[in-house]
Amino acid sequence: MEKQKHIYEAAQVNHPERWAQETRNWEPNQCVALNPMREERRIYIRKARFLLKHESNKMRQLY
């Protein structure tokens, strides 16, 4: 990753017109989850149910 960082920084110095922002953060993440955590998934499902319920109520009011 350190090599990538230097390559991108050199490219930015050589062609600043191509860069609107800073280069990406090349620091490795400490913890990566490949599958969603159960609690996050539970919250997501609750939000989806809430939105579906309220959307259906809005649709009923329109008709």
Cβ atoms of 23 and 9 within 8 Å: the answer is yes
Check whether residue 44 and residue 56 sit in a common domain: yes
Tell me how far apart the alpha carbons of residues 53 and 39 are, in angstroms, rounded to a whole number: 21
Check whether residue 62 and residue 37 sit in a common domain: yes
Check whether residue 2 and residue 23 sit in a common domain: yes
pLDDT in tens, 17-50: 998 888 888 888 787 777 767 777 888 888 889 8
Range of the domain at 45: 33-63
Statement: the pTM of the whole predicted model exceeds 0.85: no
Check whether residue 37 and residue 27 sit in a common domain: no
Cβ atoms of 36 and 12 within 8 Å: the answer is no
Check whether residue 25 and residue 40 sit in a common domain: no
What average pLDDT does the segment 5-27 reach? 88
